[in-house]
Structure 1
Amino acid sequence: MRILLELFRILLIFGIVGAFCSGILTNVYQNFGIDYNQYGYLGSVAILILLFIVYRNKLQFSGWYKGKKEKLPKRVTQVLFVFSIVLLMIPPLLQFTS
């Protein structure tokens, strides 16, 4: 039962927080004149990666699941973070270069 509750919690975190952050990112991109319909999926993937990092390093320790809980290795966290920042920066670069 705890596993189902934790899965439901993960879906809520990723769904609600991801949608909220995507909405903010959409407004930021639109204010800069970036076509969100064409490049928006890159920002959404970056948000999901960032949420994954936060969940694995912080939020998993406060949930219902009592199984093996390990933080991501520091190097993996750094690589994923840089990759998500690059994904966030690609739409403005593509928009302004084309």
Structure 2
Amino acid sequence: MRVILELLRILLIFFLSGAFYSTMLSILYKSMGVSEYMWLGAVAVLILLFLIYRNRWQFSGWYKGEGRTKLSQKTTKLLIAISVLLLILPPLIHFTSL
């Protein structure tokens, strides 16, 4: 039962938080005049939510089984760098193509 509750919690976190932050990001992109490649920002948001879940939120949930470890510092830094790159790519592509 705990596994099902944790899966529902994960789905709620990713869908609700992901939708909220992706919407805020798309509003920001649209205010800058960016209309293409906005999906890259949404992917960045999902990667960041994954990082937060694996390094923090999984320890406060219902599931208490094995395999609950933080991501390594190297992996965390790499995923953050990829997310930042994905966040700045849409405006960068837009402004260099003008």
- Cα separation, 2, equivalents of 1:96 and 1:67: 48
Deviation per residue, 1:2-58 (Å, 9 max, x gap): 1110000000000000000011001100111100xx211101100000000000000
In structure 1, the partner of 2:47 is 49
Instruction: Specify the code of the residue in structure 2 equivalent to 1:71.
Output: K
| Corresponding pairs, count | 96
- Cα separation, 2, equivalents of 1:30 and 1:58: 32
- Cα separation, 2, equivalents of 1:61 and 1:43: 27
Q: Equivalences for 1:52-67 in 2 at 5 Å?
A: 52-67=50-65
Are positions 1:9 and 2:16 aligned together?
no
**TM norm structure 1:** 0.96
Instruction: Specify the code of the residue in structure 2 equivalent to 1:27.
Output: I
Q: Percent identity?
A: 54
Off by >6 Å, runs of 4+ in structure 1: none
Unaligned runs of 5+ in 1: none
Which structure: greater helix fraction? Answer: 1
Instruction: Specify the code of the residue in structure 1 equivalent to 2:51.
Output: I
Are positions 1:20 and 2:20 aligned together?
yes
- Cα separation, 2, equivalents of 1:24 and 1:71: 28
Q: CA RMSD in A?
A: 0.6
- Cα separation, 2, equivalents of 1:66 and 1:8: 15
**TM norm structure 2:** 0.96
How far the C-alpha of 1:87 sits from its partner, in A, is 0.3
In structure 2, the partner of 1:32 is 32
Unaligned runs of 5+ in 2: none
